[in-house]
A and B are shown apart, each in its own frame.
Chain A
């Protein structure tokens, strides 16, 4: 594990239902990684994962946080929310499965590709959820290998 001084970290707050601000934390994460000169392909994967995770909080939870860390080995994105939680995680992970409302679908959300794309772009991905309480995603993208 990297020592504390090698680790950059930042917390972001996400408000459920706020479609205006939605995506801003992901943009900031991207800017930070660009600023420290991270490889473009790694940033591409982080951007996809962070955006999809952030949007899920906006769509399906009341509020949440992103805990973003960078150390010399890896980028970590932990997204935790208070919200409805997920009844059947295996089903939620299926491409195309979505409980998005008609209104969200009209806005171009609800393709059911968010969780599958987060998984595809992560080196390690874990999801835990409690119905009625909330959901936690732990995403790690390694810096020393390209996927």
Chain B
């Protein structure tokens, strides 16, 4: 049995996430989630359509998200990247969102919404 995938827009609504860019891409279904701040770990283990939860806000995360076909990146602890990173993500079609929650809390809440690791 497959249930309908939750979208980023629904998750953003439910968890009061602030959308920094890519608002036109929020209807994309989320396949799963991956929480990590180590880029080698994310590049090796995140999956296509995953949502990526991290506190890294520098511009290299956009390249990683593009390479992994990540559905969107959610920054935790209220962190926000600089304008250059946001612009880069916008150009590459990667939604960036931010949450005031910690990585643990946000991951738990996303899991409760039905977004699982699917591993």
Contacts and interface: CB of A to CB of B under 8 A. Distances in A.
A143 B92 CA distance: 27
Contacts of A52: 40, 43
Contacts of A51: 43, 63-64, 67
Interface residues of B, number: 21
Q: Say whether chain B's binding surface is mostly helix, strand, loop, or mixed.
A: helix
B60 A117 contact: no
Instruction: Using C-beta atoms within 8 Å of the partner chain, give the interface range for chain A.
Output: 20 to 34
Contacts of B38: 108, 111, 113
B56 interface: yes
Interface of B: 37-41, 43-44, 48, 54, 56, 58-60, 62-64, 66-68, 84, 92
A70 interface: no
A27 B40 contact: no
Interface of A: 19-20, 22-24, 26-27, 30, 40, 47-48, 51-52, 55, 107-109, 111-114, 117
A55 B38 CA distance: 13
